[in-house]
């Protein structure tokens, strides 16, 4: 894995919105970075498109899984200091595509929260790894969120009915993509590792079979080594795109 030079992230981010397909996506990919942003005083909110009704490894009845996973995501958010978690309705797990309707709902969330930074899954497939980041829901939400950032959220003629709801255009200044094929920025999250582990463990329906602490240290340790960080450090990797 290589990390080419990129423009440094914005230094004065007041709000950040994380948009992901399923409960747990943000925590597997980004919870350490989110915890660090919260420590720095950034207000972070989550927008989750589905309630993860197709996930799980036990015999929990399917009809109970959405409520269970919503509760798990709220507990995970609390572990890293995130107080606002919103869910969209009407998007079954496993069926997502970047439709105009999904773009509209994400655009509305952006205009409502008015973030400087949006964090989402990469819309680009990593051909060396079919699972995880390559889940079609992840790719779809990454694409829909990208379109919502540009052009939709800043264009007053996109979804003009949002104006009647008082949702004026808003310019997101940068996008952070998780899980993509060409990361160009790493965040040292060594000091936030315990909170990331706690957030992942909160998703008990998804991680009860997993040694979460070992997973975090193995995966994030490898990212840190590939990025040239000192031995023993842990890091999360992103592709950062300035929109201005």
Task: Return the half-sphere exposure (C-beta side, CA atoms, 13 A cut-off) of residue 184.
Answer: 15
SS3 218: helix
* pLDDT the model gives residue 146: 99
Give the residue from 228, 221, 176, 174 showing the smallest Cα distance to 196: 221
pLDDT digits (tens, 9 = 90+) for 195-217: 999 999 999 999 999 999 999 99
SS3 21: coil
Q: What pLDDT is recorded for position 15?
A: 99
Q: How far apart are CA 226 and CA 220, in angstroms?
A: 10
Cβ neighbours, 10 Å, residue 169? 17
At 162, is the secondary structure helix, strand, or coil? helix
Longest Cα–Cα distance of the chain, Å, equals 54
Tokens of 198: 């706690």
Contacts for 161 with CB less than 8 Å, ≥ 6 apart: none
Tokens 């720095």 — which residue? 40
Q: Which spans in the chain are helix H?
A: 25-39, 65-79, 100-113, 136-149, 161-164, 193-202, 204-207, 212-226
Residues 6+ apart with CB under 8 A from 109: 17, 19, 47, 86
What is the per-residue pLDDT for 6?
54
CA 215 remoteness from chain centre: 19
> pLDDT truncated to tens, each residue of the chain (244 aa)?
444 445 678 889 999 999 999 999 999 999 999 999 999 999 999 999 999 988 766 677 878 889 999 999 999 999 999 999 999 999 999 999 999 999 999 999 999 999 999 999 999 987 877 666 779 999 999 999 999 999 999 999 999 999 999 999 999 999 999 999 989 999 999 999 999 999 999 999 999 999 999 999 999 999 999 999 999 999 999 999 999 8
Contacts of 31 (CB under 8 A, 6+ apart): 76, 79, 80, 192, 195, 196, 199, 200
C-alpha span between 32 and 36 (Å, rounded): 6
List of long-range contacts for 133-139, beta carbons under 8 Å, 24+ apart: 133/178, 133/179, 133/180, 135/21, 136/94, 136/96, 137/21, 137/22, 137/49, 137/50, 137/93, 137/94, 137/95, 137/96, 138/20, 138/21, 138/25, 138/179
| pLDDT value at residue 7 | 61
**DSSP annotation of 126:** -
Token couple for 169 = 């255009």
| Ordered structural domains, the chain, with CATH | 15-242 (3.40.50.10320)
């Amino acid at each position: 894995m290589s990390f080419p030079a990129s423009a440094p992230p914005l230094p004065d981010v007041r709000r950040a919105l994380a948009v992901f397909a399923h409960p747990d996506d943000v925590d597997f990919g980004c919870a350490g970075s989110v915890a660090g942003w919260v420590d720095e005083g950034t207000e972070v909110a989550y927008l989750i498109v589905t309630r993860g009704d197709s996930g799980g490894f036990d015999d929990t009845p399917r009809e109970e899984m959405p409520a269970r996973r919503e509760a798990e995501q709220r507990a995970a958010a609390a572990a890293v200091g995130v107080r606002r978690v919103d869910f969209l309705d009407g998007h079954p797990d496993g069926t997502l595509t970047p439709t105009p309707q999904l773009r509209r709902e994400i655009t509305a969330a952006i205009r409502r929260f008015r973030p400087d930074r949006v964090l989402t899954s990469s819309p680009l497939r990593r051909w060396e790894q079919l699972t995880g980041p390559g889940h079609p829901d992840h790719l779809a939400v990454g694409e829909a969120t990208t379109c919502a950032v540009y052009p939709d959220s800043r264009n007053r003629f996109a979804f003009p009915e949002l104006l009647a709801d008082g949702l004026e255009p808003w310019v997101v200044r940068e996008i952070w993509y998780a899980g993509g094929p060409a990361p160009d920025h790493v965040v040292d999250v060594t000091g936030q590792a315990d909170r990331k582990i706690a957030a992942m463990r909160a998703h008990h329906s998804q991680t009860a079979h997993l040694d979460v602490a070992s997973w975090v240290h193995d995966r994030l340790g490898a990212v840190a080594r590939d990025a040239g960080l000192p031995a023993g450090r842990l890091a999360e990797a992103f592709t950062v795109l300035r929109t201005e």
